[in-house]
Amino acid sequence: MHLQSKIWVNQDIEQVTKFFYDLTTLPKWDRSVAAVIPTSQTPGRVGATFETIAPSGMKMNYRVIEFDSDRSVKILLTNSRMFKRAVWQFRFDSEKDGTQISCHIYFTLRFQYLFLYPVLYFNRKALTRDLNFLKTALNNNYAL
């Protein structure tokens, strides 16, 4: 399954990527993340790993599989009981007076979780909500 959303923010691409690539900002805009723990010595490059802790206490592990600091990042969810494979791709495009942020999520559920496809499909607006939270967090971070 593929879900996608995009949003325009009034910060330049340097501000957006500086904020976005700082792992400590993730809980400020992703409602499913209460804390982030870097688990590798190579932050901000291919191979970097980190763990997120949800408000419920559930832990998820991720690895950066593609990285272009000015343009995009792909992040792979590793060792998931629910997902056979899940990849998040964020793309940043400079536009007049701001930046377009696009998010794509590609995932395949494990057999025992196939019943969740309709739920996830009809709840795809949650991705847009998270991007709106990202926009708000960016605005709060760069408010004059």
41-75: pLDDT as tens digits = 877 789 999 999 999 999 999 999 999 988 999 99
Distance separating alpha carbons of residues 67 and 91, to the nearest angstrom: 10
pLDDT at 121: 77
Using pLDDT thresholds of 50, 70 and 90, give the confidence band for residue 143. low
Give the sheet arrangement for strand 83-95, strand by strand.
2-9, 98-109, 83-95, 72-78, 59-68, 49-53, 35-38
Six-digit token string for 144: 């004059």
- What secondary structure does DSSP assign to 77-90, as a single string? EES-SSEEEEEEEE
Per-residue pLDDT, 81 = 85
Architecture of domain 2-139: 2-Layer Sandwich (3.30)
How many CB atoms within 10 Å of residue 40?
A: 12
Mean pLDDT of the chain: 91
Determine the pLDDT at residue 117.
Answer: 83
